[in-house]
Amino acid sequence: MTTDTDETQPRHFLDVDDLSEEELFAVLDKAEEYKRAVENGEDHADLSGQTLGMLFQKASTRTRVSFETGMTQLGGHAIFLGEDDIQLGRGEPLKDTSRALSRYVDAVMARVFKHENVEVLAEYSSVPIVNGLTDDAHPCQTLADLQTIREHEDGLEDVSAAWIGDGNNVAQSFALGCALTGVDLTIATPEGYEVDEAVLERARDLGGDPTTTTDPIEAATDADVIYTDVWISMGQEDERDVRMNDFEGFQVSADLLEHAPGASVMHCLPAHRGEEITDDVVEGEQSIVFDQAENRLHAQKALLGWLLE
């Protein structure tokens, strides 16, 4: 725990490019190390006595459980703070919530709607803020995704990935992660659902060169990795009818995989089978979605270690 009068400012993780290339690879290396430690039953209580606050404005299975379990394995503790269980839900300003939490906990992971809200948390926090998903970004997911690709492709060099579907929060952070690590990325979205131009520009500044297209087959052909996510993200439920229509042709199905017979199929989960991906693909031999889910645990522990040790 630090106080808001400390001179040293904490590092925050609001999106993937808050890490340098070197730092990102160090986190991925540490994630591998933690994975081995769990598999071998080795003690690794690196955050003994430390506490993570976990603020949620949206639902979660993987993020909540992987952060909480991760803190337990690291010898620390995590506190679930649902918006409606704390005074935030009754109108306490976020900046006050942030300053109060900073006086108790060692880091805060937050899942919120507006990306500006994690920026406000960071501005007023004297402890690290970790983005556990906003409408614009999901950088913790990207850490696990890169760890998973690295495992399945035996490294990140000469890997070609195809994003098929909505240019959403998961896609945007993934684009930055690919740029930082040298993964060649093609993004296929329907018109009107592209990754933000500002994010593509950031990816280019990091040395990436993402290709964009409206043709899912063009993106998928001979890719090493095919990645998709829901067409209707949390908070977009009212757009369901329009989106279901607009995303026609973007389903990751056995037909699409004929163009990429060697590809690993990724999905951050939860999946809406029959919409962006078919049941047989989720359950099929090319699917690595549960390795991705597992790696949330290892990658986030590595991130927390980097932020807190």
160 scored as a contact of ligand CP (CB under 6 A): no
CA-CA distance, 36 to 30, in Å (whole number)? 10
Q: Which stretch binds ligand CP (CB under 6 A): 20-28, 58-66, 85-93, 298-306?
A: 58-66
CA-CA distance, 108 to 36, in Å (whole number)? 26
Single out the residue of 156, 159, 230, 265 in contact with ligand NVA (rule: CB under 6 A): 230
What SS3 state is found at 273?
Answer: strand
Helix (H) or strand (E) holding 116: helix 115-124
What SS3 state is found at 132?
Answer: coil
Is 138 catalytic? The answer is yes
Closest separation between CB of residue 65 and ligand CP, Å? 8
Q: Using CB under 6 A, which residues numbered 130 to 149 contact ligand NVA? A: 133
| DSSP code at position 267 | E
Task: Please work out, in degrees rounded to the nearest 5, the angle formed at the alpha carbon of residue 91 by the alpha carbons of 90 and 92.
Answer: 105
Confirm if 224 and 262 have CB atoms less than 8 A apart: yes
31 scored as a contact of ligand CP (CB under 6 A): no
- Spot the catalytic one: 141, 251, 292, 300: 141
Q: Using CB under 6 A, which residues numbered 146 to 205 contact ligand NVA? A: 168-170
- Spot the catalytic one: 140, 178, 202, 268: 268
Report the DSSP beta bridge partners of residue 185.
161
Choose the one of ligand NVA, ligand CP, none that binds residue 61, judging by a C-beta under 5 to 8 angstroms depending on kind: ligand CP
Nearer to ligand NVA, 228 or 278 (CB): 228
Choose the one of ligand NVA, ligand CP, none that binds residue 230, judging by a C-beta under 5 to 8 angstroms depending on kind: ligand NVA
Say if residue 139 is preceded by a cis peptide, omega within 30 of 0.
no
Amino acid letter, residue 268:
C
Q: Which stretch binds ligand CP (CB under 6 A): 4-12, 13-21, 176-184, 263-271?
A: 263-271
Choose the one of ligand NVA, ligand CP, none that binds residue 172, judging by a C-beta under 5 to 8 angstroms depending on kind: none
Confirm if 31 and 146 have CB atoms less than 8 A apart: no
63 scored as a contact of ligand CP (CB under 6 A): yes
Nearer to ligand CP, 63 or 286 (CB): 63
169 scored as a contact of ligand CP (CB under 6 A): no
Is 178 catalytic? The answer is no
21 Cβ contact partners less than 8 Å away, ≥ 6 residues apart? 180, 181, 206
CA-CA distance, 309 to 303, in Å (whole number)? 10
69 scored as a contact of ligand CP (CB under 6 A): no
Confirm if 247 and 277 have CB atoms less than 8 A apart: no
- The 112-151 site mask, x for binding ligand CP (CB under 6 A), equals ---------------------x-------x----------
Pairing of strands 225-228, 160-164: parallel
Residues with catalytic annotation? 111, 138, 141, 229, 268, 296
